[in-house]
A and B are shown apart, each in its own frame.
Chain A
Amino acid sequence: MILLISTGVLFSAATALGLIRLPDVYTRTHAASKSSTLGVLSILLGTFVHFWFNEGIFNTQMVIAIAFLFITQPVAGHLIGRAAYMTGIKVAEETVRDDMGPAIGKRKNNQQEELENE
């Protein structure tokens, strides 16, 4: 229980550190969506275990919250990253590979050709 909550706090601290240290939006959402999910989930799990074993309360809301956060937080991170890319925010200078840009370009060209054919 103490172990769970302290892991959670450590991971949340790692998230904050990542938000400061990492160079661009994409690496920051990467830090924010993954490690903060694990951090918050372990804190919630620790609280759940505490209330279950020490107070004898089986808190269903906590279980729902854990499932809910586990589904929604990665999706939120994904959407922030996508929205940032779509609005044309530059990736960090160290980046060597960009698969998304050509894919979007191809899609745009296809749509234009379809419009012209009509």
Chain B
Amino acid sequence: MRTNDVMLQTATKVVTFIILMFAVHIFFAGHYTPGGGFVGGLLTASAIVLLMLAFDIPTIKKILPINYVVLTAVGLLIAIATASASVIFDVPFFTHAYDYFDLPLFGETSLHSALLFDIGVYLVVVGVTMTIIQTIGEDE
């Protein structure tokens, strides 16, 4: 019997945005405070899993048409690209660089190329977690 789960679905609609917002916060906070690509990725994956629990997998596939295997590959490519970009500037592999920029809204901010590597980690974590959960969840 298909039960009526309005409570769960309504709560999910509100809570998912809080989780995603917090995931982005954790991701960008990684350089100076606890957090980073791994935790941010896991939080994002957990938000998507919550959506899948409240609704069902075909619906989520319709609103988030992402192939998570490709997402993992893109993440690995970004990580390798940022690591090997240092070779172009004639410094050892994996050397990172940073500089201070005056951004319009944030004021003086230090931007570090480790952030790009972290984006790679983030995408890989989201991709791998979602692939595992989808493969287990779709067995019928």
Contacts and interface: CB of A to CB of B under 8 A. Distances in A.
Interface in A62-102: 64, 67-68, 71-72, 75, 78-79, 82, 86
Instruction: Give chain A's interface residue range (CB within 8 Å of chain B).
Output: 10 to 19
Given A107-B1, A111-B1, A79 B15 contact: no
A44 to B, nearest CB: 15
A106 interface: no
A75 B1 contact: no
Contacts of B63: none
B7 A78 contact: yes
B18 A75 contact: no
A64 B18 contact: yes
Contact of B7 (A61, A68, A79, A86): A79
Contacts of A108: 1
B18 A68 contact: yes
A67 B18 contact: yes
B14 interface: yes
Contacts of A82: 3
B11 interface: yes
Interface in B5-24: 7-8, 11, 14-15, 18, 21-22
B3 A75 contact: no
Interface in A35-80: 61, 64, 67-68, 71-72, 75, 78-79
B1 A68 contact: no
Nearest to A68: B18
Interface of B: 1, 3, 7-8, 11, 14-15, 18, 21-22, 25
Closest 9 CB pairs of A and B: A75-B11, A68-B18, A78-B7, A75-B7, A71-B15, A71-B11, A72-B15, A71-B14, A64-B22
